[in-house]
Amino acid sequence: MVEVAGIGVLIEGAAGLGKSETGLGLVKRGHALVADDLTVLRLDSAGKIIASSMPTTRFFMEIRGLGIIYVPSIFGISSVRGEKELNLVATLRRPDQVEDLDRSGMTELYRNILGRDIPQILIPVAPGRDLVNLVETAAQDFKLRQMGNFAAVRLDEQIKEHHLALAQKRGLK
């Protein structure tokens, strides 16, 4: 669980897909770790899902090949958060486990957690894919969507306007 540009992102997926490494990369880019491996989720009095770590593992990460690291010692106290509201679920999957992926971003997916539907993105994991960049961009796009700015809808509208202008120019309707 990480905080990316103010957005609480839970990164989930099968073992060995790069969840912790993605979290570490986000921390290196100035975002913050909430929990690694064991994330505690609870509903607050307003019905929001709040994520935190287990007290015994708080701010520790296990990175394959490196072992256990203590994030605030390496990156400073601003690199961690005690808790964060869960806003987005980033699900890492092997490419063969992602069927009919919507490449436009028009289809909204949700993951039901504690009775709440949380927006979800599916990210196919393949060699050479920059998962840190993808999760960071997904969080930033989520912020824009919350403000009503949907890139795919905007592009669709622009294409329709362009075709309408061409048709009018040719004397068609």
pLDDT grade for 153, boundaries at 50, 70 and 90: confident
Position 133 scores a pLDDT of 97
CA distances from 106 to 25, 101, 117, 134 (A): 28, 11, 17, 17
pLDDT grade for 119, boundaries at 50, 70 and 90: very high
Position 151 scores a pLDDT of 74
DSSP letter for 135, please: H
- Residues with Cβ within 8 Å of 150's Cβ and at least 6 positions away in sequence, in order, are 105, 144
CA separation for the pair 51, 22 (Å, rounded): 18
Residue 17 confidence (pLDDT) above 80 = yes
- Evaluate whether 53 touches 59 at the Cβ level (below 8 Å): yes
Average pLDDT (143-171) is 81
Position 172 scores a pLDDT of 64
Half-sphere exposure of 100 (CA within 13 A, CB side): 2
Residue 13 confidence (pLDDT) above 70 = yes
- Evaluate whether 71 touches 22 at the Cβ level (below 8 Å): no
What are the tens digits of pLDDT across the range 32-90? 999 998 999 999 999 999 999 999 999 999 999 999 999 999 999 999 999 999 999 99
Question: What's phi and psi for 24, nearest 5 deg?
Answer: -60, -45
**9, 25, 5: which is closest to 84 by C-alpha?**
9
What are the tens digits of pLDDT across the range 102-117? 666 667 899 999 999 9
Q: What average pLDDT does the structure give for the chain?
A: 91
DSSP letter for 78, please: G
pLDDT grade for 125, boundaries at 50, 70 and 90: very high
